[in-house]
């Protein structure tokens, strides 16, 4: 088994990015989007999530542990690459570089985001519409969240493409091309949802 | 008139040189009289006859590897104007000047433009990129390969171990032990052969080891750069599928032998 550690780690890294992290991202963005339907709708949704049975366990198993593994191993992957866009400016090589760049941006954003929301909640703050509106009263935070959310969505969408290759779902060049278009649509749609939600708090 | 005109025309080269594997690289500039149909190798031969730089400095002849001179052996690969390719098919008429020559630094530099490509041959041994047919008695003819499949496999067999795909790959570098696309595509070739398929699981398990298949980051530079047009990324994706099944077999067990 020790021989196959790297293979297993890479596959696990790829899988966790989609299940559960990617699914959680879609869920999270959908809940955020409720802010566009008004303060009460958003607070109601947040309230509902707070009733999740064994919430702390679910959070660790579905969110924290997978993200910690994905982040730590992802940083290792990102820094073992030697980007060569200057010599090879192909589309996929751009995606390769951006995947690593957005991964690092996403991690920085996430650390801040978890500190400002979940950890504050653990220390007694109440998570609701006002909390976010308060954060976004600072224009720098709006820019920071825009960059963070869009880079997270890019990382997920493009990661979905490489997930399909890494697990052998898309083998032929044509299937990979169709998947490129599909993930582009995913990126645009989720970005729309994410950005609309941010401005709902402003 | 045409002749005198071509005589005055010159070709300029900036060549990255290195005296020993451990010494620092440096550039030297050369200027040659233009001749029709020149390629990088004929230019290097010309410099070898009279190794004098533009500055008039007498220097040593440039070291480089070559063999077949028709882009099938892979020995003469180098970085020409930033792109790794074979110097035998790099025609001067199609190159921007000054022509910049450098060794493929993904490999250990032996001297000047000469690199040590051993790692690729070691990888081929590691993945057993051959078809074992030896036995203690005559095993008879193996299963036939369908013609259509043979034609498909022929494309994969064009690999000449030139190293361009490794040079183009951002994940093949000194920080990583990734074997690169070249041996992986050969695994697919030999797994596809009816007799070679008898050792399929063994080859798959090898590339599932450290530095193997999973280190691919899908930059797809390899397939864009391969001088033989080998569908390297299709091979990698197909092996991803095969190893996905293989890892389930390894974990859960299988009644398939």
**Could you give the CA distance from residue A71 to residue A58 in angstroms, rounded to a whole number?**
19
**Could you give the CA distance from residue B26 to residue B102 in angstroms, rounded to a whole number?**
10
φ/ψ (deg, to 5) at A159: -65, -30
**Could you give the CA distance from residue B50 to residue B140 in angstroms, rounded to a whole number?**
58
The β-bridge partners of A6 are: none
B124/B236 same-domain check: yes
Positions in chain A short of pLDDT 70: 1-4
At B93-134, the pLDDT tens digits run: 999 999 999 999 999 999 999 999 999 999 999 999 999 888
Region B201-217: mean pLDDT is 95
**Could you give the CA distance from residue A96 to residue A92 in angstroms, rounded to a whole number?**
6
B96/B160 same-domain check: no
The pLDDT, as a whole number, for residue B138 is: 87
Residue A83 is nearest to which of B83, B168, B170, comparing CB atoms?
A: B170
Confidence class of residue B140 from pLDDT cuts 50, 70 and 90? Answer: confident
Classify residue B149: in a domain, yes or no: yes
Q: Which residue of B has its CA nearest to A80?
A: B175
Confidence class of residue B7 from pLDDT cuts 50, 70 and 90? Answer: low
Region B198-227: mean pLDDT is 96
Last residue of a domain, one of B115, B147, B170: B115
The pLDDT, as a whole number, for residue A145 is: 97
B101/B135 same-domain check: no
Cβ separation of A171 and B241 shorter than 8 Å? yes
Confidence class of residue B205 from pLDDT cuts 50, 70 and 90? Answer: very high
Contacts of B213 in chain A (CB under 8 A): 7
User: Domain limits at A98?
Assistant: 2-201
Contacts of A82 in chain B (CB under 8 A): 170-171, 173, 175
The pLDDT, as a whole number, for residue A4 is: 64
Region B222-247: mean pLDDT is 97
DSSP B137: S
Q: What is the CATH number of the domain that holds B41?
A: 3.10.20.30
Q: What is the CATH number of the domain that holds A36?
A: 1.20.1300.10
B14/B103 same-domain check: yes
B103/B125 same-domain check: no
Q: Is the pLDDT of residue B66 over 80?
A: yes
Last residue of a domain, one of B115, B136, B156: B115
Cβ separation of B247 and A90 shorter than 8 Å? no
Contacts of B237 in chain A (CB under 8 A): 165, 168, 170-172, 176
**Could you give the CA distance from residue A134 to residue A116 in angstroms, rounded to a whole number?**
11
Last residue of a domain, one of B82, B115, B148: B115
The pLDDT, as a whole number, for residue B170 is: 97
Region B68-74: mean pLDDT is 96
Contacts of A161 in chain B (CB under 8 A): 218
Cβ partners under 8 Å of residue A78, min gap 6: A100, A103, A104
Residue B56, min C-alpha distance to chain A (Å): 32
B79/B167 same-domain check: no
CB contact, 8 Å: B244 with chain A?
A: yes
- Count of structural domains, chain A: 1
Q: Which residue of A has its CA nearest to B248?
A: A8
B96/B161 same-domain check: no
Pairing of β B83-86 and β B77-80: antiparallel
B82/B138 same-domain check: no
ipTM associated with this complex: 0.94
The pLDDT, as a whole number, for residue B3 is: 52
Contacts of A8 in chain B (CB under 8 A): 247
Query: Which positions in chain A have a beta carbon within 8 angstroms of at least one beta carbon in chain B?
Result: 3-11, 77, 79-84, 86-88, 90, 92-93, 95-97, 161-162, 165-173, 176
Q: CB–CB of B149/B197 below 8 Å?
A: no
User: Domain limits at B166?
Assistant: 118-252
Cβ separation of A96 and B214 shorter than 8 Å? no
Contacts of B218 in chain A (CB under 8 A): 92, 95-96, 161-162, 165-166
Classify residue B257: in a domain, yes or no: no
The pLDDT, as a whole number, for residue B8 is: 76
B73/B130 same-domain check: no
B60/B87 same-domain check: yes
Binning chain B into helix, strand and coil, the percentages to the nearest 5 are 40, 15, 50
CB contact, 8 Å: B201 with chain A?
A: no
Q: What is the CATH number of the domain that holds B198?
A: 1.10.1060.10
Residue A171 CA, distance from chain mean position? 25
Cβ separation of B244 and A173 shorter than 8 Å? no
At B83-93, the pLDDT tens digits run: 999 999 999 99
Contacts of A169 in chain B (CB under 8 A): 241
Count Cβ–Cβ pairs < 8 Å, chain A vs chain B.
114
The pLDDT, as a whole number, for residue B135 is: 82
**Could you give the CA distance from residue B244 to residue A10 in angstroms, rounded to a whole number?**
12
Q: Which of B221, B242, B246 to mutate to test the interface with A (most CBs of A within 10 A)?
A: B221
Q: How many helices (H) and strands (E) does chain B have?
A: 9, 7
At B19-47, the pLDDT tens digits run: 999 999 999 999 999 999 999 999 999 99
The pLDDT, as a whole number, for residue A41 is: 95
B60/B140 same-domain check: no
φ/ψ (deg, to 5) at B161: 55, 45
- Of B17, B94, A165, the residue nearest B30 (C-alpha): B17
Confidence class of residue B256 from pLDDT cuts 50, 70 and 90? Answer: confident
Classify residue B236: in a domain, yes or no: yes
Classify residue B218: in a domain, yes or no: yes
Q: Is the pLDDT of residue B214 over 80?
A: yes
Cβ partners under 8 Å of residue A155, min gap 6: A99, A102, A103, A106
Confidence class of residue B257 from pLDDT cuts 50, 70 and 90? Answer: low
């Amino acid at each position: 088994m020790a021989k196959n550690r790297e293979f297993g780690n890479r596959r696990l890294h790829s899988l966790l990015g989609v299940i559960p992290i990617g699914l959680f991202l879609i869920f999270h963005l959908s809940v955020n989007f409720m802010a566009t339907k008004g303060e009460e709708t958003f607070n109601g949704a947040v309230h509902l999530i707070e009733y999740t049975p064994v919430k702390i366990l679910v959070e660790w198993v579905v969110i924290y542990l997978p993200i910690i593994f994905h982040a730590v191993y992802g940083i290792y992957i990102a820094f073992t690459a030697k980007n060569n866009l200057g010599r090879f400016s192909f589309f996929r090589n751009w995606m390769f570089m951006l995947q690593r760049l957005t991964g690092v941006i996403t991690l920085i954003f996430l650390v801040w985001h978890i500190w400002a929301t979940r950890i504050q909640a653990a220390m007694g703050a109440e998570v609701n519409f006002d909390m976010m509106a308060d954060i976004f009263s600072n224009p720098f935070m709006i820019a920071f969240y825009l960059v963070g959310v869009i880079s997270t969505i890019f990382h997920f969408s493009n990661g979905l493409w490489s997930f399909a290759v890494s697990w052998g779902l898309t083998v032929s060049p044509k299937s990979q091309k169709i998947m490129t278009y599909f993930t582009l649509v995913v990126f645009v749609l989720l970005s729309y949802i994410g950005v609309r939600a941010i401005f709902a708090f402003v | 008139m045409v002749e005198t005109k071509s005589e005055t025309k010159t070709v300029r080269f900036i060549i990255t040189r290195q005296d020993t594997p451990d010494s620092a690289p440096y550039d030297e500039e050369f200027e040659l009289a233009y001749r029709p149909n020149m390629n990088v190798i004929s230019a290097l031969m010309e410099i070898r006859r009279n190794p004098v730089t533009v500055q008039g400095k007498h220097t040593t002849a440039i070291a480089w590897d070559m063999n077949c001179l028709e882009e099938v052996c892979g020995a003469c690969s180098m970085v020409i104007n930033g792109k790794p390719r074979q110097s035998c098919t790099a025609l001067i008429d199609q190159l921007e000047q000054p022509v910049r020559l450098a060794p493929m630094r993904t490999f250990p530099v032996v001297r000047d433009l000469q690199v040590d490509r051993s790692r690729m041959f070691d990888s081929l041994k590691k993945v057993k990129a051959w078809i074992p047919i030896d036995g203690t008695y005559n095993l008879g003819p193996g299963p036939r390969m369908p013609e259509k499949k043979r034609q498909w496999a022929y494309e994969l067999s064009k690999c000449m171990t030139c190293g361009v795909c490794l040079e183009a790959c951002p994940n093949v570098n000194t920080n990583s032990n990734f074997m690169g696309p070249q041996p992986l595509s050969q695994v697919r070739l030999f797994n596809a052969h009816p007799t070679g398929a008898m050792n399929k699981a063994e080859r798959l398990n090898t590339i599932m080891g450290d530095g193997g298949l999973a280190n691919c980051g899908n930059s797809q530079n390899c397939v864009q750069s391969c001088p033989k047009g080998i569908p390297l990324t299709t091979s990698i994706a197909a092996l991803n599928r095969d190893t996905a099944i293989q890892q389930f077999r390894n974990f859960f067990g299988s009644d398939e032998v």
